[in-house]
């Protein structure tokens, strides 16, 4: 084995015996002949072969939802490349100039150098407008990709042990991405972005006691000052991207360390990964996908205007435009401000306390990410599950989690839509006041509704899966028996299809697994201070769970079904789940054997 692969520099140093000669003089008959000279050269100096071998042998499972994260990754790369181009022309300065460029409707208007240089990029630099639009569109797609990827990870339970830390890194990455986005769209210093900075200024000022000091620190004095654009610029092009890329590399490294998760399917277990190795298949696919993403982004950027800064004019603190919205990822916070009632601002101890702003910004923004980051640990606490999980869950098989996720998304959407209440009002011919009342109500009502409906849907889908596993698919073929009875013939699932439907397990509520509070000798069981709460939440999560079909149940159903169809008057397919196995399991039919693997590795 070792003779087939060059061993690298470390091997040369540690080995007593001289290693076999690497193929520097290539001999067609030697096993090393297939390695290009350059690779051998590199391996002899830095030991590249070992790492490459490890990397190229990585196996990735195939599923479209695994590509959502790649949309984010490639969009980030596009944003990095186009952003570098923009820095060559953008002037991060609030110095005052009078515009004398190509765009006639702004000729002779006073503005900052930042805005003037953005106009120059748009109208005078060759290809500048396309690159600017590529940068902004890829930034939007970056965050859309992150949101979808996070949703995929959440709803499939991919954040469970051992991936909690990677989930946390992802949560931080998503926060950094939106801060990066905010800093980026604030740079042109047009009327819209200046309004955004003014809002940020207000957010900070709403902090009790320290608010004013904080804004003076960040803005270098009164708003707007001359410092904020250069400061945002260095955050946007250096500070945040450096952390973002660093954490992103860590994020990917952990994916390699943990190995990729996979959806349940035939032959897939917690101990293997079924898919294609990086070389050549996955590299071709992923590399190709980069060009697909780049192509779509370029097409969109060429055809659709984004953030036409010339529309807004230069920033002036005395001006504002109707329809001022941030980019979509900041909507939920802006929306919260529009929904919070005005009476939350009051005067106490001679100071104004602006809780109407404070709650929707400085409280809400961190809270969302804290809740996101805490969720895996909450669920681990609730399940008491210490095992590793590499097989993903179908969303229906974790009904409470799926319902919580859907409810949280609905809550987020209500806030986000509240941010465009003025545009909704004018486009739909509605009253903005009515919309505010509607959104305030929906913020509380909709998550509850969505939770209940989603959970019921998941449970129904699970029951449907059970039906299919136990009784097969309906065929639409009506059979008449010699006695004159009718029944619909059901076709059993094949083993491959069945696997995906039964490969999951459902935790039992903790309260039911811990035994009685007092043992037979009258000694109370030791309980932690939160044990009661833990049992209650656990019961909330899992008390009405639908469990996967066991091999015994399946065997019983087949046994039962065939006899019923011939002898008993009832039609078994419509009955309750078949649990009344009589024990005389008839495995000789061979139907049940395929489902044994997944459900028994507890």
Partner 1 sequence: MSSLAARRRSPLALLMLLFLGLTFTGTAYAALQTGAAPGTSAEGASQEQLGEGRQLFLANCASCHGANAEGNGEAGPSLYGVGAAAVDFQVATGRMPLPAPGVQAERNISQVHFSDEQIEALAVYVDSLAPGPDVPEEQWLDASQGDAANGGAVYRTNCAMCHNSSGTGGALTRGKYAPTLMGVDAQHIYEAMLTGPQSMPVFNDQNITPEEKRDVIAFLKSIEDGANDQGGHTLGSLGPAGDALFAWTIGILAFIGAAVWLGRKAA
Q: Is 478 in the site for partner 1 (CB under 8 A)?
A: no
Q: Is 82 in the site for partner 1 (CB under 8 A)?
A: no
Q: With respect to partner 1, which residue has the nearer C-beta, 305 or 568? A: 305
**Nearest CA to 448 among 398, 420, 397, 414?**
414
Minimum Å gap between C-beta 144 and partner 1 is 5
**Cβ neighbours for 511, distance < 8 A, ≥ 6 positions apart:** 535, 536, 538, 539
Instruction: Pick the piece of the chain touching partner 1 (CB under 8 A) from 156-164, 318-326, 343-351, 461-469.
Output: 318-326
Q: With respect to partner 1, which residue has the nearer C-beta, 162 or 277? A: 277
Instruction: Pick the piece of the chain touching partner 1 (CB under 8 A) from 257-265, 382-390, 422-430, 464-472.
Output: 422-430
Which residue in 41, 89, 294, 310 binds partner 1 (CB under 8 A)?
A: 310
Size of the site for partner 1 (CB under 8 A): 76
Which residue in 194, 241, 313, 360 binds partner 1 (CB under 8 A)?
A: 313
**Cβ neighbours for 179, distance < 8 A, ≥ 6 positions apart:** 235, 240
Run of H or E including 154 = helix 128-155
Which residue in 11, 58, 63, 259 binds partner 1 (CB under 8 A)?
A: 63
The angle that helices 164-186 and 364-383 make with each other, rounded to 10 degrees, is 170
Which residue in 24, 433, 441, 593 binds partner 1 (CB under 8 A)?
A: 433
- Binders of partner 1 among 181-200, rule CB under 8 A? 191-192
Q: Is 317 in the site for partner 1 (CB under 8 A)?
A: no
Which residue in 29, 64, 528, 584 binds partner 1 (CB under 8 A)?
A: 64
- SS3 annotation, 452-499: HHHHHHHHHHHHHHHHHHHHCEEEEEEEECCCCCEEEEEECCCHHHHH
Measured between alpha carbons, how far is 462 from 465 in angstroms, rounded to an integer?
Answer: 5
Minimum Å gap between C-beta 159 and partner 1 is 21
Which residue in 90, 115, 141, 167 binds partner 1 (CB under 8 A)?
A: 141
Q: Is 203 in the site for partner 1 (CB under 8 A)?
A: no
Which residue in 24, 87, 272, 321 binds partner 1 (CB under 8 A)?
A: 321
Q: Is 437 in the site for partner 1 (CB under 8 A)?
A: no
Run of H or E including 352 = strand 351-354
Minimum Å gap between C-beta 18 and partner 1 is 41
**Cβ neighbours for 359, distance < 8 A, ≥ 6 positions apart:** 336, 340, 344
Contact 358, 206 (CB under 8 A): yes
- Binders of partner 1 among 447-476, rule CB under 8 A? none
Tokens 């970056």 belong to which residue?
142
Q: What region, left, alpha or beta, does residue 18 occupy, with left being phi > 0 and alpha being psi -120 to 50 degrees?
A: beta
- SS3 annotation, 167-194: HHHHHHHHHHHHHHHHHHHHCCCEHHHH
Minimum Å gap between C-beta 327 and partner 1 is 5
Q: Cα dist. 470→63, 242, 549, 551, 580 in Å? A: 27, 54, 8, 10, 13
Q: With respect to partner 1, which residue has the nearer C-beta, 136 or 591? A: 136
**Nearest CA to 371 among 78, 154, 600?**
154
Contact 366, 172 (CB under 8 A): no
Q: Is 410 in the site for partner 1 (CB under 8 A)?
A: no
Which residue in 156, 201, 421, 534 binds partner 1 (CB under 8 A)?
A: 421
Q: Which long-range contacts (CB under 8 A, 24 or more apart) does 95-104 make?
A: 95/226, 99/314, 103/310
Contact 454, 403 (CB under 8 A): yes
Minimum Å gap between C-beta 313 and partner 1 is 5
Instruction: Pick the piece of the chain touching partner 1 (CB under 8 A) from 49-57, 313-321, 351-359, 560-568.
Output: 313-321
Q: How buried is residue 425: exposed, middle or buried, by Cβ count under 10 Å (0-12/13-18/19+)?
A: middle
CA angle, 90 then 91 then 95, to 5° = 150
Q: Is 89 in the site for partner 1 (CB under 8 A)?
A: no
Instruction: Draw the binding track, 327-356, toward partner 1 (x: CB under 8 A; -: no contact).
Output: xx--x-------------------------
**Nearest CA to 138 among 294, 252, 310, 286?**
294
* Three-class DSSP category at 548: coil
Minimum Å gap between C-beta 325 and partner 1 is 5
Q: Is 38 in the site for partner 1 (CB under 8 A)?
A: no
Partners of 433 in beta bridges: none
Contact 365, 171 (CB under 8 A): no
Q: With respect to partner 1, which residue has the nearer C-beta, 11 or 58? A: 58
How many other CB atoms sit within 10 Å of the CB of residue 560? 21
Q: With respect to partner 1, which residue has the nearer C-beta, 47 or 405? A: 405
Q: With respect to partner 1, which residue has the nearer C-beta, 109 or 172? A: 109
Q: With respect to partner 1, which residue has the nearer C-beta, 140 or 510? A: 140
Tokens 């210093």 belong to which residue?
189
Output DSSP code: residue 593. G
Minimum Å gap between C-beta 482 and partner 1 is 47
Instruction: Draw the binding track, 118-137, toward partner 1 (x: CB under 8 A; -: no contact).
Output: ----xx-----xx--x--xx
Which residue in 245, 306, 446, 552 binds partner 1 (CB under 8 A)?
A: 306
Instruction: Pick the piece of the chain touching partner 1 (CB under 8 A) from 28-36, 62-70, 359-367, 520-528.
Output: 62-70
Q: With respect to partner 1, which residue has the nearer C-beta, 60 or 154? A: 60
Instruction: Pick the piece of the chain touching partner 1 (CB under 8 A) from 221-229, 303-311, 365-373, 518-526.
Output: 303-311
The angle that helices 164-186 and 128-155 make with each other, rounded to 10 degrees, is 150
Instruction: Pick the piece of the chain touching partner 1 (CB under 8 A) from 46-54, 202-210, 321-329, 474-482.
Output: 321-329
- Binders of partner 1 among 568-597, rule CB under 8 A? none
């Amino acid at each position: 084995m070792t003779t087939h692969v060059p061993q690298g520099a470390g091997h040369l140093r540690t080995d007593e015996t001289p290693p076999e000669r690497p193929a520097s003089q290539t001999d067609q008959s030697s096993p090393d002949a297939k390695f290009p000279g350059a690779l051998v050269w590199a391996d002899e100096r830095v030991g590249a072969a070992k790492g490459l071998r490890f990397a190229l042998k990585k196996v990735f499972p195939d599923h479209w939802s695994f590509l959502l994260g790649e949309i984010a990754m490639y969009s980030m790369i596009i944003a990095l490349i186009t952003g570098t181009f923009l820095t060559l022309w953008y002037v991060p300065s609030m110095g005052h100039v009078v515009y004398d460029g190509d765009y006639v409707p702004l000729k002779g208007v006073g503005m900052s150098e930042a805005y003037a240089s953005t106009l120059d990029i748009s109208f005078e630099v060759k290809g500048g407008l396309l690159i600017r639009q590529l940068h902004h569109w890829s930034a939007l797609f970056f965050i859309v990709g992150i949101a979808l990827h996070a949703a995929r990870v959440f709803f499939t339970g991919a954040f469970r042990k051992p991936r909690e830390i990677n989930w946390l890194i992802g949560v931080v990455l998503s926060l950094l991405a939106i801060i990066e986005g905010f800093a980026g769209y604030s740079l042109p210093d047009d009327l819209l972005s200046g309004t955004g900075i003014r809002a940020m200024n207000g957010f900070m000022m709403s902090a009790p006691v320290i608010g004013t000091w904080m804004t003076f620190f960040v803005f270098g004095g009164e708003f707007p000052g001359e410092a904020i654009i250069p400061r945002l610029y260095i955050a946007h092009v250096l500070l945040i991207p450096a952390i973002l890329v660093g954490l992103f590399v860590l994020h990917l490294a952990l994916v390699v360390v943990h190995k990729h998760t996979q959806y349940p399917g035939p032959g897939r277990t917690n101990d293997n990964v079924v898919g294609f190795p990086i070389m050549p298949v996955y590299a071709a696919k992923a590399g190709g996908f980069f060009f697909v993403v780049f192509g779509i982004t370029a097409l969109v950027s060429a055809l659709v205007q984004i953030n036409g800064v010339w529309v807004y004019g230069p920033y002036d603190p005395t001006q504002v435009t109707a329809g001022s919205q941030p980019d979509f990822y900041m909507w939920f916070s802006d929306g919260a401000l529009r929904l919070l009632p005005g009476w939350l601002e009051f005067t106490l101890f001679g100071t104004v306390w602006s809780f109407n702003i404070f709650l929707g910004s400085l409280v809400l923004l961190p809270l969302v990410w804290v809740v996101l980051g805490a969720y895996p640990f909450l669920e681990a606490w609730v399940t008491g599950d210490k095992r590793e999980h590499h097989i993903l869950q179908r969303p229906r098989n974790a009904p409470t989690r799926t319902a919580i996720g859907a409810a949280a998304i609905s809550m987020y959407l209500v806030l986000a839509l509240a941010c465009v209440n003025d545009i909704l009002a004018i486009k739909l011919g509605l009253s903005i006041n009515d919309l505010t009342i509607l959104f305030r109500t929906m913020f509380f009502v909709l998550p509850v509704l969505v939770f209940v409906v989603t959970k019921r849907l998941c449970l129904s889908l699970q029951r449907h899966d059970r039906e299919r596993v136990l009784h097969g698919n309906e065929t639409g073929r009506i059979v008449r028996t010699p006695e004159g009875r009718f029944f619909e013939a059901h076709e059993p699932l094949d083993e491959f299809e069945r696997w995906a439907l039964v490969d999951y397990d459902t935790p039992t509520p903790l309260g039911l697994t811990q035994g009685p509070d007092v043992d037979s000798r009258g000694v109370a069981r030791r309980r932690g201070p939160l044990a009661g709460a833990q049992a209650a939440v656990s019961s909330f999560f899992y008390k009405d769970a639908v469990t996967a079909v066991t091999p015994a149940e399946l065997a019983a159903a087949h046994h039962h079904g065939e006899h019923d169809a011939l002898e008993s008057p009832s039609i078994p397919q419509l009955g309750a789940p078949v649990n009344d196995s009589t024990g005389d399991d008839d495995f000789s039919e061979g139907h049940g054997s395929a489902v044994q693997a997944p459900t028994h590795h507890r």
